[in-house]
Structure 1
Amino acid sequence: MNTDPRVEDLLRELAPQVLGVLARRFGDFATAEDAVQEALLAAATQWPAEGVPANPRGWLIQVGYRRMIELVRGEQARRRREDLVARRDPDDRQYAPAADEELTAERDDTLVLLMLCCHPALAPTSAVALTLRAVGGLSTAEIARAFLVPEATMAQRISRAKQRIRASGLPFRMPEPAERADRLAAVRQVLYLVFTEGHTSTTGPDLRRIDLAVEAIRLTRALHTLLPDDSESAGLLALMLLTEARGPARTGPSGELISLAEQDRSRWDASAIAEGVALVTRALPRGPVGPYQVQAAIAALHDEAPSTQQTDWPQILALYQVLERLVGSPVVALNRAVATAMVYGPAAGLTALDALADDPRLAGHHRLPAARAHLHEMAGDRERAVTDYRAAAARTSSVPEQRYLTMRAARLAAESAPIASEPSPLA
């Protein structure tokens, strides 16, 4: 089924609002989510042919509400559940929401939905899938295609997540104040997971999954709109914009990976860079400074530099040192080692990488040999660079990364091979 892109965008914007209304009314997130999905499907089928109604949100609420009533009445425990709903609802929620009810800040439940879908009790993969469906308005089939898994597998993942929420008895409301900071951090982490998978796919033939990256930016923009004074959410949005701005230049005509140093920077998205720089510039002074803001500041330095050689590497190294103190990640330490090489030379960078050789968190990961290969190449040690590029290629599951690393090794090996003398024409 092909849906008008304008209708798709509208449905994705309205999905969390409608789900919030029904979940509050009935106190059953899982069943409300099913009802909203059916309402969205009905709209995607009818609106392109019949036109978008004057009040699309009200239309979806009414269709979803009718379906919700059918689902509730179909249960054997109908009377007990309806009594429970009646006791749970305040007086102003005892009737179906009016179709023309205006959306107010109080009624915009996107943040509540995000915190519910990203609950720490859920596995990250389940939280990602549920967030994309319940808050993003994507169908199960769309999410399955994005993550290259069968639709039945994704449906089971989403179903288990909803069952976990139902079994936990979590109410549809904002967490208690003492819990909100941790829950908001979990929301950011899930959105960042969606973005990173879109920016560099872990599996499959394509380097990027643009639909996931775009959806992550859309949801993070919604989060920033809801919490404009939260500097770390602003930092996350800035990081996504500044990173994705390079997207058009990251692949060649055949989908091959192009390294940052080799990219045509005129193809970078200048408007996304300007927005990202403005966001992180406003966020940093407000504090407290968090890891997403620091990563956004690093990305901004890369994006504003005319070339790799003209990049402010000392400042980037200083920021990686700050980031390493904040998160203690081996990947951050690896990036700090590369920045060290750019400031003090490849030998200093290789020494920093040696300290990570025994870190179990990097065992089997392609990043360490890839970084080591790059620094050996900088140092002119082609033989070791070839060995490490090949080792990195064997460890990554990304086809474009495999091809890039293999080609890099092949090129260096060819440059290192002795030139055979031409045979005598008389031989």
Structure 2
Amino acid sequence: MSPIASHIPTPSLHQPAGLMPADLCADGMTDAVVEAGRRRGRGAVSNATGRFESAARIAFDDGWQSLEDLPPFRTEVTAERARTVITRNDSPDIGFDRSINPYRGCEHGCVYCYARPTHAYHGLSAGLDFETRLFVKPDAPDLLRRELSHPRYKPRVIALGTSTDPYQPIERQYEVTRRLLEVLAEFGHPVGIVTKSGLVARDIDILAPMAERGLVKVAISMTTLDPKLSRLMEPRAASPLRRLSTIRALSEAGIPVTVLTAPLIPALNDMEIERILDAAKAAGASQAGYVTLRLPLEVADLFREWLVTHFPDKARHVLALVRQMHGGKDYDPTFGKRMRGDGPYAWTIGRRFELAARRLGLHGRGVKLTTEHFHRAPVVGEQLSLFD
């Protein structure tokens, strides 16, 4: 017999995303928490209904021990047919105006991921759905070729993997990221890659020649050197040791590598700033950056649940420091503050990072990519100009 699904109205958007006040238990957990055996190897501990849904579904035991019959969460991949692949933005506090994300959702399962709320637009949860119900854009390389071939296209650095990791585990099967890089290399188009996967080293054969032309740089995200903490926060991402070896492999191939200490979480991993930068420098990183913890929309509830589950003795202290950095709130989306926070604690983190980066020669803007090699390749079937 299947468990009964209780239907209740979804909360107002003025309330914490995905939660009703009555759903909050005394310890900060919610009725949407999933039994540990079903979410083994995953980051989030719950799967609350998406904020745009008209009803919330809560599984509970009907007296027949039916919850024991529920299967574990398995990764499901759906093909998405997009019309365009380059997303543009005008945010003043990020260093690019266009990006490509070959996948929606991310199997790495990072509990703190600021992109989790985007799954609500698919009618899915920002919790376990985000890391188990994924979308792939198999036509992305063809769409990119078409967009770059447009006569009015003007090249600027494309950021690859700004919302979800372009080298998450399903990339081994679909190779969308690799095919995107092949198109970018063909067009002589600059690209910046952000990942926490060792799989990026697979594409050194494409990246190294691009680096020789000033067309690519890679940022490796390092949250901690503690493998146990890493496994809890980002269960299916590469281990810290693997990430350091990836920095070394890329650097030895002549590919500029930045280490991103992101996110820095007060009282949880911020004490590792200096050690992470020391290790990354020794592995060959040439630049460093940092971002403090961001908790937009549903991420705040998911992170709170995760803290209570894994660090019950630290939860109140961590959250108090987070709010101290955001004017008493879980998150302040104000440009200029959302990435770094504000106040004394945020200032201390920033100064520690700056001093360590300067000491190691990891400060500054780093390698500047060029657009001088860009050329518009003809689309298949297009008639070439007699005057080219």
TM-score range for the pair, normalised by the shorter chain length: under 0.3
RCO (CA 8 Å, sep 6+): is it higher in 1 or 2? 2
TM-score, normalisation: structure 2: 0.27
More strand by share: 2
More helix by share: 1
TM-score, normalisation: structure 1: 0.25
